[in-house]
Amino acid sequence: MQLHFHTSAAPADTTVWPVQKGQSVPEFAASAQADFNGDVNETLLLYGDGRKRLLLGLGEKTGLNGLLKAFRKAFYTNKAKLGSRVSLDLTGLDARQVEAVLLGIQAGGYNLKLYQTTQPEIALFYTDAGELHVQVAEADLTAAQEAGRRAGIIWEAQRAMLDLMNAPSNYKTPQTLADWAVASGRDHTYSVTILDHDELARQGYNALLSVGQGSENPPLLIVCDYTPENNALTTGQPVRTIGLVGKGVTFDTGGVSIKPSANMHLMKSDMGGAAAVLGTVEVAARLKLPVRVVGVVPATENVVDGMATKPGDVITSYLGKTIEIIDTDAEGRVILADGLGHMVRHIQPDVLIDLATLTGNVIAALGYQAGGLFTANDDLAAQLLAAGTQTGERLWQLPLWDDYKDDISSDVADVKNYSGKPINGAIAAAKFLEAFTDNHPAWAHLDIAGMAFADTEFGQQKNATAFGIRLLLDYLERIAVQ
């Protein structure tokens, strides 16, 4: 699909008209006013004069994520009817709104049928012959063109992460994530280091190794480092370093503490944190953000064989703290212990953020509308909450008080990985992770279990959302100008 910007209307096979609820429809659609209310995601396709016009309802108040989702669904549902040339008037929208609309339109062409032998015919609009003509005010033309460039970069990273997350485990191993990172680093000029099984063993990343030891696909530690060209080495001015750690469990059976079979097939999604981190580093590098971004992904499978870690085992993490394994299905926090350990020992970032599809308990608390935010740093909390509100990838802060510390107290080790209680599981997991941050003053944990895999128009069961990339990008751009 080719993207063109204009300051006047352009001829097209289909013209898309966004309509707010309560707003009058265009004159050509007056006869359809009674059938169209402008409710969110409402669409009405009209034919006449040899052209098609698609009315798209946006509801009463539409934020960035609402715009993105409305255009994504409308274009996905109607893509076969659009023709090759589509026009859209976005006059009056600011650059962030234009970016959200264009992200939604590009996402509308996503194909979830990754491994079907008979692939659906690609809609003409989403081929190289497709054209999207966007009308904006002349004063906004340059900003809109930049929004289009950004949307293209963000969508390419999101689409790659959607494909990785939606891939089944026989097509996606820890090595698959490493190969993607290496290729991305090579293409977009940032460094990538892979610590393989032998190197992990030599250096003592035993928490990560313990989770992966039941799998024939060895665990890896992926380190992606984007450093801007105008850094302290060239300018003499310090550049802030943001460390991102993402849980990369490419399949999770629960280990010896095995999960019920009913929804285990969805555990190919247990790398949502890794997807957010890998995608964000690529976007930061391609947009040349003036901030150093280091992504660390401990990648592994959590499966069962005779070598698998057993409940009651005690392991020693990279930082030297010992962990009693109460539940092998609480593996995400165990591998993050070594990911965080690598970050605080080797990178020493100014800000440290980890993301993980960590607990079902956070879904019980917040549903599928927000991720859980845990931090003792009020400024960091405010920045992340603001980024979530702006992008619509929302967060809600939950407590991290020391009153919950007993939940990770072990009789035989420094900490245990599971409290055994049916309550406050997300908080207990955050308290566990806190023990491996070396008291970092600006650390935040994001539990995105309810957000990384969700119901969408793309499929009949839950599938990937690429949640976190836009959230983190907004946060990085906020602090880059401070």
Q: Which of 174, 222, 218 is nearest to 197 (CA)?
A: 218
Q: Which of 149, 159, 259, 462 is catalytic?
A: 259
Q: Per the structure block, which two tokens stand in for 356? A: 């993980």
How far lies 91's CA from each of 6, 140, 394, in Å? 10, 8, 27
Q: Which of 84, 119, 152 is the last residue of a domain?
A: 152
Q: Do 129 and 212 belong together in one domain?
A: no
* Cα angle for residues 204, 210, 211 (degrees, 5° grid): 130
d(CA 334, CA 177): 19
Q: Which of 105, 127, 152 is the last residue of a domain?
A: 152
pLDDT tens sequence for the chain (482 residues): 999 999 999 989 999 999 998 888 888 888 777 788 889 999 999 988 878 999 999 998 889 999 999 999 999 999 999 999 999 999 999 999 999 999 999 999 999 999 999 988 999 999 999 999 999 999 999 999 999 999 999 999 999 999 999 999 999 999 999 999 999 999 999 999 999 999 999 999 999 999 999 999 999 999 999 999 876 555 566 789 999 999 999 999 999 999 999 999 999 999 999 999 999 999 999 999 999 999 999 999 999 999 999 999 999 999 999 999 999 999 999 999 999 999 999 999 999 999 999 999 999 999 999 999 999 999 999 999 999 999 999 999 999 999 999 999 999 999 999 999 999 999 999 999 999 999 999 999 999 999 999 999 999 999 999 999 999 999 999 998 77
Q: Do 141 and 183 belong together in one domain?
A: no
Instruction: For residue 331, say whether it is annotated as part of any ligand binding site.
Output: yes
Question: For tokens 């109460």, what's the residue?
Answer: 326
Give the domain CATH number at 57. Answer: 3.40.220.10
Q: Which of 52, 85, 150, 333 is catalytic?
A: 333
Q: Do 244 and 184 belong together in one domain?
A: yes
SS3 state of residue 9: coil
d(CA 64, CA 41): 14
Domain assignment of residue 192, given as a range: 167-480
Give the domain CATH number at 424. Answer: 3.40.630.10
- Asked if residues 194 and 220 have their Cβ atoms less than 8 Å apart, the reply is yes
Q: Do 91 and 196 belong together in one domain?
A: no
Instruction: For residue 252, say whether it is annotated as part of any ligand binding site.
Output: yes
SS3 state of residue 240: coil
Q: Do 146 and 274 belong together in one domain?
A: no
Instruction: For residue 187, say whether it is annotated as part of any ligand binding site.
Output: no
Q: Which of 107, 122, 152 is the last residue of a domain?
A: 152
Q: Are strands 248-252 and 241-246 parallel, antiparallel or unpaired?
A: unpaired
Q: Do 124 and 212 belong together in one domain?
A: no
Q: Say if 159 falls within a structural domain.
A: no
Q: Residue 305 is which amino acid?
A: D
- pTM here is 0.95
Q: Do 211 and 312 belong together in one domain?
A: yes
How far lies 412's CA from each of 313, 323, 433, in Å? 10, 9, 18
d(CA 343, CA 244): 8
- Asked if residues 57 and 40 have their Cβ atoms less than 8 Å apart, the reply is yes
Instruction: For residue 268, say whether it is annotated as part of any ligand binding site.
Output: no
Q: Do 147 and 202 belong together in one domain?
A: no
Q: Please confirm, yes or no, whether 333 is among the known catalytic residues.
A: yes
Phi, then psi, of 52 in degrees rounded to 5: -120, 140
Instruction: For residue 35, say whether it is annotated as part of any ligand binding site.
Output: no
Q: Per the structure block, which two tokens stand in for 40? A: 């969110």
Q: Do 271 and 127 belong together in one domain?
A: no
How many domains in the chain?
Answer: 2
